[in-house]
Structure 1
Amino acid sequence: MPLNTWLLFVTTVFFVSATPGPNMLLAMTHGIHHGVRRTAVTCLGLMTGLGIIMLGSAAGLGALLATSEQLFSIVKYAGAAYLIYLGIKTWRAIPQPVTEVAEDSSARHTPWMMFRTGFLVSMSNPKAFIFFTALFPQFMDARLPQGPQLAVLAATFYVIEASWQFAYASGGARLAGWLNSARRLKLVNQVSGGAFVGAGLLLSGVSRH
């Protein structure tokens, strides 16, 4: 892959990944409540889902979702429903200062639960399959072997996406001290919950095209 093509891909993905979305919002929210170290498990779930999406896109699932209205609708509404559920759950969460959450979070937020939440949020958007199917070919040379090019693009996207997730988690962790107030935490829960619900509603309205 020519260096200038790769640098253009890096620039594109850098700004695409920086855009706040469900993945970044979840990383920031967990960073607020659990700190960067524990949120790494959430990020692992997010990145596992992302890896499956990229593999699925490379295998042609993105093209299948783009051509099958029924399959796309099933995945779309399932993903939207989960985001709305997560948003309502976050909105209704009982405000609890971050210092208190840290003391008892091991019982209610096990690593498996955090990993699972990250994985499900990452897998909740069927447009991601089509996104990768549409994005990667723009930076590939059809005359060269496809496997190595896909590997370079996927690894690059993975590193940039993971970096932004930890950046959002770190930003959330820095807000933890400011959030040792039930009133402020309730506001964050409502904003985060509303954003998840909004993402779910927007997702339910997208089309394959």
Structure 2
Amino acid sequence: MPLDTWLLFVVTVFFVSATPGPNMLLAMTHGIRYGVRASLPTMLGLLVALGIVMAASVAGLGALLATSEALFAAVKYAGAAYLIWLGVKTWRAHPEALTAPEAAGNGGAGGWAKFRTGFLVAMSNPKAFIFFTALFPQFMDARAAQLPQLLTLAATFFVIESGWQFVYATGGARLGSWLSSPLRQRWVNRFAGGAFVGAGVALSGVSQGS
């Protein structure tokens, strides 16, 4: 994978992961309620579910590329269109009050209960499968070895997501207070939305031009 493509992926994922979605809000609220160390099982549950979702997406993309390069290209362009639409939607999103996501159980005081809550919250969003299937092909070359590319993208996303979860859990009340500002939420949405649109527009032709 070219370094410039990987760096663009890092920038895109950095802003995408920073957006306060259900996973980050759960890490933040458990960080506030239980402290960072006691919230580690919650974050572990979130990350295990994330790993499962990415593994399923990677397996599907690998099988698709092995079947037909043309079909993979079609998925790539469809994914680019989805990312652009998602970027516009994120850019235009109105600031909302930050509330903790609901899941089976309330997190409890035990490590297993927190892990289960984190796992269920991360797995309860079927859009995650669509997201990874749309995002990864934008940074891949169908003519290069697929497994190293997929593993690089998945590992990079996992590391950045882990870092942001720790930031949210550590920041806790401060981060929640900072994001409660409509103006700041709007700027976060615009950064994330711009990253989505940029990935969709700039990378839809990477494999054709390489």
Does residue 55 of structure 1 match 2:55?
A: yes
AA aligned to 1:141 is: D
Aligned residues: 143
Change (3 A) 1:156 1:126: same
**Structure 1 alignment gaps of length 5 or more:** 67-82, 91-104, 179-209
Measured in 2, the distance between the counterparts of 1:89 and 1:11 equals 35
Partner residue in 1 for 2:161: 161
The superposition leaves residues 118-137 of structure 1 with CA deviations (integer Å, 9 ceiling, x where unpaired) of 00000011110010001000
Query: Does the CA-based 8 Å contact 2:30-2:39 persist in structure 1?
Result: yes
Moved over 4 A (4+): 87-90
Over the residues paired in the alignment, what is the CA RMSD in angstroms? 3.1
Measured in 2, the distance between the counterparts of 1:84 and 1:173 equals 13
Instruction: Tell me the percent identity.
Output: 69
Change (3 A) 1:88 1:144: closer
Measured in 2, the distance between the counterparts of 1:130 and 1:15 equals 18
Residue 86 of structure 1: SS of its match in structure 2?
coil
Measured in 1, the distance between the counterparts of 2:105 and 2:174 equals 23
Query: Does the CA-based 8 Å contact 1:36-1:170 persist in structure 2?
Result: yes
**Structure 2 alignment gaps of length 5 or more:** 64-74, 76-98, 178-210
Measured in 2, the distance between the counterparts of 1:85 and 1:158 equals 21
Change (3 A) 1:88 1:12: same
The superposition leaves residues 77-126 of structure 1 with CA deviations (integer Å, 9 ceiling, x where unpaired) of xxxxxx99827987xxxxxxxxxxxxxx9xx4110000000000000111
**TM-score normalised by structure 2 residue count:** 0.61
AA aligned to 1:113 is: A
Change (3 A) 1:26 1:84: closer
Residue 143 of structure 1: SS of its match in structure 2?
coil
Does residue 30 of structure 1 match 2:46?
A: no
Query: Does the CA-based 8 Å contact 2:103-2:120 persist in structure 1?
Result: no
